[in-house]
């Protein structure tokens, strides 16, 4: 009973605030995108089309553009609740159909990059935490480089030289796992660089805390101290950064997909932004906000698993 | 009696080997020699920075990465450890020598269960069969007086009270059956009553034949348990001897000063009591379901000191904040100089704030780290006064010179900081000074000086003091009248003589019984605080 | 962005970290300053002079960084490209920091209702990834250097605001702020005298590194064709143009990329070295 309450209360509270954030995101994107100057009908018609006033009027009615803003707003919210994301101005198709085929490759890329980034971070940090100066200096320098290099530029260089010139790896398109290696690495490097540093700082800090002295005084090896005790502490700040990681993955996907000519949501977004295809942009923005909310929720739960102190009633994150 | 631990000419240095770049090398421990026999307790006493914790760590081979340790003899349980490598040291730690560190809240891994923490030494050293470890954990918890050990083993450190946590920490130190226990300030973070229980527990371990090296700054703790005492000063042992003899007749000047400072003597005082300055009338404050202060009433007259004593969580600091007008009572009133105070809006209170000032426990965090002493004090000086002249006058009043004007808080010692804090509080010429644990963070010698200073200020300026402390000896030293708080209520009130010499409430009696004093006449009255007596197990409110 | 800044704002260690690297970084930044103010001093050619005959010249001779597909001197374009790239980096950061400071201080020191409302709002904005938020703004205001500056600046506001609030709250609750209240100091004065100065130190460190990240973001938007329009020289758009020819003329996209790396690295290295020299207690 108390176990149920212990877990149910925080979960429900976080779910509620997640829904609030999504609603806010929908509202903000609706407001912002209705500030776009220019007539939407022109976007729908595409360039160099001379349309009769009657046709323009029909399109306006078709997309419900003549209705007052509150009505359009409520219709959009209602649509979201029923899974209807509207119709693309550019392609005339339902937004859901436009996005459907593109989600897979992006998710695949993001997941591969996450795994790689975590691998880079923890391997680098565990190998160098509490070690001598030389190892740390090298690791620190590499991490610094990883966050200072624009990843898309690195991607371009890798793409050109490894794939195009020397044909070591396939680069373009979406053909199997081999084609995933370079894009995922490009996306993972800057994230891994930041995480590695965070994990190492946290490990070093935990190794210097009083409880680490207690563990050493029991006769434990440094490896035991590191793996059985401090690594859990280092996992906490990584969890805190998950929101940032999601953002970096989605933002990075836009660039990586463009560089490697991969299909995916990122490229759809770039096209939609250039052509002011508002329903598609809105849908993508909401989708990323939803991803953010879901990941944060999962991370909050992970927090409760990792840190028993947060399970105490009344304690917030 | 064969020595369990023999230390001869122990040296520990930190910093660069030769005069290279960076900070000068620090000689933290020099030429220290002592020994501990089985079933004996040796206390290593010193003030902060004396190197006593460094000695403790050096004995475990854990002095730190930058430390260079050398000794003519370092013998633990018959083994010469001077040439030990990492692997050999690990076989000593936990198995031969156990460590009990200061605060179990941070010394136990907060993310692991109590049971796992106690099991770890047994797993590491293989002292118990895997299948028997669970039973051994329960057995150990029971041995250190933890009630309901099966349930406790599955809890996390933050879910236990301070006393139970410290017991669990001791259980984990004892788990692999070490013959020597190093206890580094094992009771410093605890309330007096709990402190006494933990010391009794350590005494039991000693009677069972374990050697005990006790590290402490508190002569009261030492007097209660140590057979012999070594006084450490700036890394050197200045005096060693049987504890009663050393405390009764210290030979070295430093030991003498230390003993003198640990016994606070009140100077004869004749308070010039005049009108009432502060009236607290039945104030209550609660946070949600928890009552922090319930129906507390008292008055404070000009020139007198009221001491407010209680253990952590008793609500005494909240009373200080209610009096200062930093918190608003949910019911009851506070009147200042006979006029309304607590119910006023901050806008109306501000012009009269100069009348009542506050001194914090930790002066370091009470100063803006970027400010110099002159700016810190100037903040409290009314605008129409000559700031430069008044700042110097205030510095002089608290015994500091103009050379301190341009220092920052981190360039001052603890005692100097508290003097600056007092100067700032006196700047607007208040009628009431509320002191919230003003000497708890200070070494004994400095503590005595700061108390003298407060006394002196009161004599000269006629300021009334509301003095909050957990420390009975400090309260006795400074107060004219005393209030004893427990669980949000005042349980006893009276003059200092009445409360200390003839306490009426059972709680006051138990507090006085648990109090540790270093004086020769200080054999504590035998109030039964057996380790088996379960203390309140509820987690302390934070 | 502030995540990057927070993790890299720590002090540097080691001899290289303490002596050599900061000197090199400072030299790079001085050079960059010259490139922004007097590009003519460093550029051997005008940035937009096309010369189809000498297209795709490899580095060497009169063109240390080679020439691009229109025969323009790559070095000159990298030098002139410093101005829009840094304008975006500095401008966006200034915008983000100022707005973040105002919002963060208001949230930390204002009534609880205001704090709640502002934080909820920031939560919503934080749910948008920074680059997506910038793209959203570009969708509304259109492409171009100034618009990209605004877009990246707005996208950075939530992180700075949270940071300021996070730094300000402990100061507001600190014993020394309490001491000021007890001394009768008014709240706005406490904010100006104690809170603001204790927030600006860390904020400046983060803003400096944030500038580097903003340079990367700006170049990324230009790379996507949403930033500085051609033919003006800008590092991101140079990268975008050059990548088609990268296999045959590696220099066209390599040097603008190196310029970005040099800026971001130098800024980070310099901040870390300043950080490790600041005495304890004077900063954070």
Residue B295: band (very low, low, confident or very high) from pLDDT cuts 50, 70, 90: very high
Q: Which of B266-275, B530-539, C47-56, C80-89 has the lowest mean pLDDT?
A: B530-539
pLDDT at site B313:
84
Helices H / strands E in chain A, number of each = 14, 0
- DSSP structural state of residue B188: T
Least confidently predicted of A47-51, B162-166, B351-355: A47-51
Mean pLDDT score of chain C: 83
Query: Could you give phi then psi for residue B230, rounded to 5 degrees?
Result: -115, 130
Cβ contact A262:C102 at 8 Å? no
Q: Do A25 and C128 touch (CB under 8 A)?
A: yes
Domain ranges of chain A: 16-84, 100-310
Shortest Cα distance, chain B CAs vs residue C171, angstroms: 9
B520: pLDDT confidence band, cut at 50, 70 and 90?
very low
Contact A293, C126 (CB under 8 A): no
Helix runs in B145-191, H state only? 149-153, 162-174
- CB distance from C185 to chain B under 8 Å? yes
* Chain B residues touching residue A307 (CB < 8 angstroms): 110-111
The per-residue pLDDT for range B50-96, each reduced to its tens digit, is 888 899 999 999 987 778 888 999 999 988 988 888 899 999 999 99
B268 and chain C: CB distance < 8 Å anywhere? Answer: no
Q: Measured between alpha carbons, how far is B155 from A6 in angstroms, rounded to an integer?
A: 15
Q: What is the pLDDT of residues A163-216, one digit of tens each?
A: 666 666 655 555 666 778 888 998 999 899 888 888 888 888 888 888 999 999
* The pLDDT of residue B175: 94
Judged by CB atoms closer than 8 Å, whether chains meet at C261 and A201 is answered as: no
CATH class of B277-369+431-502: alpha beta
Chain A neighbours (≥3 Cβ pairs under 8 A) are B, C
Assess A217–B contact: CB distance below 8 Å, yes or no.
yes
Q: Tell me whether B423 touches chain C (CB under 8 Å).
A: no
Domains B1-96+181-262 and B277-369+431-502 share a fold: yes
Min Cα separation A221/chain C (Å)? 26
The Cα C255–Cα C66 span in angstroms is 10
Neighbours of chain B (3+ CB pairs under 8 A): A, C
A142 touches chain C (CB under 8 A): no
The highest-confidence range among A65-79, B513-527, C30-44, C167-181, by mean pLDDT, is C167-181
Measured between CA atoms, how close is A164 to chain C, in angstroms?
7
* C contacts of B365 (beta carbons < 8 Å): 174-176
Cα A206 from Cα A274, distance rounded (Å): 48
Partners of B370 on chain C (C-beta within 8 Å) are 197-198, 281-282
Mean pLDDT throughout C215-228? 86
User: Is the Cβ of B213 closer than 8 Å to some Cβ of chain A?
Assistant: no
How far is residue B110's CA from residue B117's CA, in Å, rounded to a whole number? Answer: 10
Q: Which of C11, C139, C156 to mutate to test the interface with A (most CBs of A within 10 A)?
A: C139
Mean pLDDT of C83-107: 92
Interface of B with C in 380-409 (CB under 8 A): 380, 408-409
For A90, the 3-state DSSP assignment is coil
Q: Are B27 and B11 in contact (CB under 8 A)?
A: yes
| pLDDT over 60 (residue A316) | no
Q: Which of C130, C140, C250 sits opposite A247 (nearest CB)?
A: C130
Asked if A211 lies within 8 A of B106 by C-beta distance, the reply is yes
| CB within 8 Å of chain B, chain C residues 237-276 | none
Could you report how far apart the first and last alpha carbons of chain C are, in Å? 19
Residue of B nearest to C15 (CA): B21
Indicate if the pLDDT at residue B481 is higher than 90: yes
Interface B:C, Cβ pairs < 8 A: 59
Q: Contact B244/B520 with Cβ under 8 angstroms?
A: yes
Range among A124-133, A217-226, B421-430 rated most confident: B421-430
- Confirm if B439 and B405 have CB atoms less than 8 A apart: no
For residues B35 and B16, give the distance between their C-alpha atoms in angstroms, rounded to a whole number. 30
C282 band by pLDDT with thresholds 50, 70 and 90: very low
Q: Which residue has the higher pLDDT, A64 or B286?
A: B286
| pLDDT tier at B385, thresholds 50, 70, 90 | confident
Cα of A294 to nearest chain B Cα, Å: 25
Average the pLDDT over B486-490 and give the result.
93
This model of the complex carries an ipTM of 0.79
Contacts of A32 in chain C (CB under 8 A): 136-137, 140
**Strands B489-495, B481-486: pairing kind:** antiparallel
Domain limits of chain B?
1-96+181-262, 101-177, 277-369+431-502
Most confident of A116-120, A273-277, C270-274: A116-120
Q: Name the percent of chain B in helix, strand, coil, to the closest 5.
A: 35, 25, 40
**Contact criterion met (CB < 8 Å) for A210 and B169:** no
Please check whether residue A187 is in contact with residue B84, taking contact to mean a CB–CB distance below 8 angstroms: no
Put simply, the chain A residues between 22 and 41 with a CB less than 8 A from any chain C CB are: 22, 24-25, 28-29, 32-33, 35-36
pLDDT higher than threshold 90 for residue C250:
no
Q: Which of B428, B449, B430, B149 is nearest to B438 (CA)?
A: B449
**Maximum average pLDDT range among A80-84, A125-129, B415-419:** B415-419
Residue A159 has pLDDT above 80, yes or no: no
Q: How far apart are the CA of B103 and the nearest CA of chain C, in angstroms? A: 23
How close A6 gets to chain C, by Cα (Å)? Answer: 25
Q: Which residues of A touch C19 (CB under 8 A)?
A: none
**How far apart, in whole angstroms, are the C-alpha atoms of residue B242 and residue B301?**
46
Q: Write out the two tokens for A156.
A: 């371009």
Residue of A nearest to C257 (CA): A153
pLDDT band of residue C145 (cuts 50, 70, 90) is: confident
pLDDT of amino acid A314: 41
Selecting from C176, C182, C198 the residue whose C-beta is nearest the C-beta of B353 gives C182
Task: Note whether C220 contacts A258, CB cutoff 8 Å.
Answer: no
Per-residue pLDDT, C240: 84
Report the distance separating Cα C214 and Cα C70, nearest Å: 29
Contact call for residues A258 and A270 (beta carbons, < 8 A): yes
A148 touches chain C (CB under 8 A): yes
Confidence of residue B98 (pLDDT cuts 50, 70, 90): very high
Asked whether the predicted pLDDT for residue A136 surpasses 80, the reply is no
Model confidence over A204-248: pLDDT tens digits? Answer: 888 888 899 999 999 998 888 988 898 888 888 888 788 888 888
- pLDDT averaged over chain B? 87
> Strand pairing partners for B486?
B489
Say whether A152 and C131 touch across the interface (CB within 8 A).
no
Give buried/exposed letters for B307-328 (b at 16+ CB in 10 A, else e).
Answer: bbbbbebbbbbbbbbbbbbebe
The yes/no answer on whether domain B1-96+181-262 falls in CATH 3.40.50.300 is yes
Q: What is the pLDDT of residues A81-118, one digit of tens each?
A: 887 777 787 777 888 888 888 888 999 999 999 999 99
User: Nearest 10 degrees: CA dihedral of B352, B353, B357, B362?
Assistant: 180
Helix ranges restricted to H, A129-228: 133-148, 151-158, 178-207, 210-217, 222-224
Inter-chain contact A218–B94, Cβ cutoff 8 Å? yes
Are residues C39 and C82 in contact, defined by beta-carbon separation less than 8 angstroms?
A: yes
pLDDT digits (tens, 9 = 90+) for C13-71: 555 556 788 888 889 889 888 888 888 888 788 887 777 777 777 887 777 888 887 87
The token pair that represents B283 in the structure block: 């104030």
Task: Check whether B452 has a pLDDT greater than 80.
Answer: yes
Chain A residue with CA closest to B86: the answer is: A221
Q: What's the rounded Cα separation, in Å, for the pair C59 and C274? A: 36
pLDDT at position B20 over 60 = no
CATH of A100-310, one of 1.10.357.10, 1.10.8.60, 1.10.3720.10, 1.10.1060.10: 1.10.3720.10
Mutation target vs C (from B317, B326, B378, B379; most C CBs, 10 A cutoff): B379
Residues in chain A within 8 Å Cβ distance of B158: 308-309, 312
**Most C-contacting residue of B341, B361, B362, B369 (CB-CB within 10 A), to test interface:** B369
Q: Is the peptide bond before C106 cis (omega within 30 degrees of 0)?
A: no
CA B47 to chain centre: 12
Binary contact (B358, C178; C-beta < 8 A): yes
Asked whether B255 and B297 are in contact (CB, 8 A), the reply is no
Higher pLDDT, A14 or B488: B488
**Closest CA in chain C for residue A31:** C140
Contacts of B111 in chain A (CB under 8 A): 229, 232-233, 306-308
Q: Which of B133-147, C15-29, C258-272 has the lowest mean pLDDT?
A: C15-29
Edge-to-edge order in the sheet of strand B331-336: B290-301, B276-287, B331-336, B339-340
C4 to chain A, minimum CA–CA distance in Å? 6
Nearest to C176 among B350, B366, B428 (CB): B366
**Residue partners of A198: CB distance under 8 A and separation at least 6:** A121, A237, A238, A241, C7
In C, which residues are within 8 Å of A147 by CB distance? 4, 8, 264, 268
| Confidence band for B521, pLDDT divided at 50, 70 and 90 | very low
Calculate mean pLDDT across residues B488-493. Answer: 94
The pLDDT value recorded for residue A38 is: 64
- Residue C37: predicted pLDDT: 86
Q: Is B178 exposed, middle or buried (0-12, 13-18, 19+ CB in 10 A)?
A: buried
Question: What DSSP string describes A117-136?
Answer: HHHHHHHHHHHHTT--HHHH
User: Which pLDDT value is given to residue B279?
Assistant: 95
Strands (E), chain A: none
Q: Is the pLDDT of residue C171 over 50?
A: yes
Q: Which residue of C has its CA nearest to A250?
A: C129
Residues of chain A found within 8 Å of residue B539, distances taken between Cβ atoms: 312
- Choose among C182, C193, C194: nearest Cβ to B358: C182
Distance of CA A35 to the CA centre of its chain: 26
More confident residue, B526 or C6: C6
Smallest Cβ–Cβ distance between A219 and the set B106, B124, B159 belongs to B124
pLDDT bucket at B421, cuts 50 / 70 / 90: very high
Residue C149, pLDDT above cutoff 80: yes
């Amino acid at each position: 009973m108390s176990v149920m309450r212990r877990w149910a209360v925080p979960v429900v509270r976080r779910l509620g605030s997640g829904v609030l954030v999504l609603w806010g995101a929908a509202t903000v994107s609706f407001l912002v995108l209705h500030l776009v100057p220019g007539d939407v009908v022109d976007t729908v018609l595409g360039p160099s089309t001379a349309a009769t006033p009657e046709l323009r009027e029909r399109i306006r009615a078709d997309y419900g553009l003549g209705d007052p803003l509150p009505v359009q707003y409520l219709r959009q919210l209602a649509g979201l609740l029923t899974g209807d994301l509207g119709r693309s101005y550019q392609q005339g198709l339902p937004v859901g159909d436009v996005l459907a085929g593109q989600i897979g490759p992006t998710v695949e890329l993001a997941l591969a990059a996450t795994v790689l980034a975590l691998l880079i971070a923890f391997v680098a940090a565990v190998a160098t935490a509490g070690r001598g100066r030389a190892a740390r200096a090298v690791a620190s320098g590499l991490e610094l480089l990883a966050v200072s290099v624009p990843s898309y530029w690195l991607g371009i260089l890798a793409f050109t030289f490894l794939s195009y010139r020397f044909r070591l790896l396939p680069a373009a398109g979406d053909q199997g796992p081999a084609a995933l290696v370079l894009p995922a690495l490009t996306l993972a490097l800057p994230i891994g660089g930041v995480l590695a540093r965070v994990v190492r700082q946290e490990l070093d800090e935990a190794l210097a805390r009083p409880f680490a002295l207690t563990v050493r005084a029991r006769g434990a090896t440094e490896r035991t101290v590191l793996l059985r005790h401090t690594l859990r502490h280092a996992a906490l700040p990584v969890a805190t950064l998950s929101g940032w990681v999601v953002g970096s993955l989605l933002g990075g996907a836009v660039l990586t997909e463009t560089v490697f000519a991969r299909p995916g949501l990122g490229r759809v977004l770039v096209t939609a932004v250039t052509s002011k295809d508002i329903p598609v942009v809105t849908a993508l923005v909401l989708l990323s906000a939803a991803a953010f909310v879901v990941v944060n929720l999962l991370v909050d739960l992970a927090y409760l698993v990792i840190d028993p102190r947060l399970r105490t009633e009344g304690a917030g994150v | 009696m064969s020595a369990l631990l023999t230390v001869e000419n122990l040296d520990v240095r930190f910093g660069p080997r030769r005069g290279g770049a960076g900070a000068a090398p620090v000689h933290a421990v020099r030429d220290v020699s002592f020994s501990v026999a089985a079933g004996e307790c040796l206390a290593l006493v010193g003030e902060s920075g004396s190197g006593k914790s460094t000695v403790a760590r050096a004995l475990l081979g854990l002095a730190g990465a930058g430390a260079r340790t050398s000794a003519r003899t370092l013998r633990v349980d018959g083994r010469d450890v001077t040439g030990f490598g990492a692997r050999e040291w690990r076989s000593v730690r936990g198995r031969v020598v156990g460590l009990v560190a200061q605060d179990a809240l941070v010394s136990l891994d907060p993310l692991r269960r109590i049971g796992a923490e106690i099991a770890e030494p047994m797993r590491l050293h293989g002292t118990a069969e895997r299948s028997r470890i669970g039973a051994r954990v329960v057995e150990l918890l029971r041995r250190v007086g933890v009630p309901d050990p099966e349930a406790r083993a599955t809890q996390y450190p933050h879910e236990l009270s301070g006393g139970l946590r410290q017991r669990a920490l001791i259980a984990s130190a004892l788990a692999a059956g070490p013959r020597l226990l190093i206890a580094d300030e094992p009771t410093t973070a605890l309330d007096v009553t709990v402190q006494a229980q933990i010391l009794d527990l350590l005494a039991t371990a000693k009677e069972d034949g374990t050697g005990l090296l006790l590290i402490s700054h508190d002569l009261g703790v030492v007097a209660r348990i140590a057979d012999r005492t070594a006084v450490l000063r700036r890394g050197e042992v200045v005096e060693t001897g049987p504890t009663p003899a050393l405390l009764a007749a210290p030979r070295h000047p430093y030991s003498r000063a230390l003993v003198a400072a640990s016994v606070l003597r009140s100077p004869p005082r004749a308070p010039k009591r005049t009108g009432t300055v502060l009236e607290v009338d039945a104030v209550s404050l609660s946070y949600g379901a928890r009552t922090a202060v319930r129906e507390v009433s008292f008055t404070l007259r000009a020139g007198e000191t009221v001491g407010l004593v209680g253990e952590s969580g008793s609500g005494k600091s909240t009373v200080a904040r209610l009096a200062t007008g930093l918190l608003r009572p949910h019911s009851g009133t506070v009147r200042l100089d006979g006029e309304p105070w607590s119910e006023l809006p901050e806008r109306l209170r501000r012009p009269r704030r100069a009348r009542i000032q506050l001194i914090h426990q930790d002066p370091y965090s009470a100063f803006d780290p970027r400010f110099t002493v002159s700016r810190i004090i100037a903040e409290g000086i009314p605008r129409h006064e000559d700031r430069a002249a008044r700042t110097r006058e205030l510095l002089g009043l608290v015994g500091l010179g103009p050379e301190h004007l341009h220092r920052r808080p981190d360039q001052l010692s603890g005692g100097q900081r508290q003097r600056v804090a007092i100067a700032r509080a006196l700047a607007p010429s208040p009628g009431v000074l509320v002191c919230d644990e003003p000497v708890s963070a200070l070494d004994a010698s400095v503590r005595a000086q700061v108390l003298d200073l407060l006394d002196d200020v009161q004599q000269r300026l006629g300021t009334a003091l509301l003095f909050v402390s957990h420390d009975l000896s400090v309260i006795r030293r400074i107060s004219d009248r005393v209030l004893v708080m427990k669980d949000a209520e005042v349980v006893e009130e009276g003059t200092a003589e009445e409360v200390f010499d003839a306490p009426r409430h059972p709680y006051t009696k138990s507090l006085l019984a648990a109090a540790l004093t270093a004086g020769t006449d200080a054999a504590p009255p035998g109030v039964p605080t057996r380790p088996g007596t379960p203390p309140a197990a509820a987690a302390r409110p934070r | 962005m502030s995540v990057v800044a927070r993790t890299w704002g720590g002090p540097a260690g080691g001899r290289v970290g303490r002596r050599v690297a900061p000197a090199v970084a400072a030299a790079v930044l001085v050079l960059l300053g010259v490139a922004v103010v007097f590009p003519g001093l460093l550029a051997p050619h005008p940035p937009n002079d096309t010369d189809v005959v000498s297209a795709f010249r490899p580095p060497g001779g009169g063109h240390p960084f080679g020439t691009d597909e229109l025969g323009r001197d790559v070095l000159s374009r990298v030098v002139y490209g410093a101005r829009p790239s840094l304008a975006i980096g500095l401008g966006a950061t200034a915008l983000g920091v100022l707005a973040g400071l105002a919002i963060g201080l208001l949230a930390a020191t204002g009534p609880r209702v205001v704090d709640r409302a502002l934080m909820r709002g920031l939560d919503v904005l934080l749910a948008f990834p920074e680059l997506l938020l910038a793209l959203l703004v570009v969708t509304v205001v259109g492409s171009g250097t100034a618009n990209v500056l605004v877009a990246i600046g707005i996208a950075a506001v939530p992180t700075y605001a949270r940071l300021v609030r996070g730094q300000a709250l402990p100061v507001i609750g600190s014993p020394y702020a309490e001491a000021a209240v007890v001394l009768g100091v008014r709240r706005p004065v406490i904010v100006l005298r104690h809170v603001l100065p204790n927030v600006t130190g860390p904020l400046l460190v983060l803003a400096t590194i944030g500038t580097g990240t903003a340079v990367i973001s700006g170049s990324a938007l230009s790379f996507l064709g949403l930033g500085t329009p051609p033919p003006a020289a800008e590092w991101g758009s140079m990268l975008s143009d050059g990548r088609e020819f990268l296999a045959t003329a590696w220099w066209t996209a390599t040097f603008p990329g190196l310029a970005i790396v040099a800026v971001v690295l130098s800024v980070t290295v310099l901040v870390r070295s300043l950080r490790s020299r600041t005495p304890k207690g004077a900063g954070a």
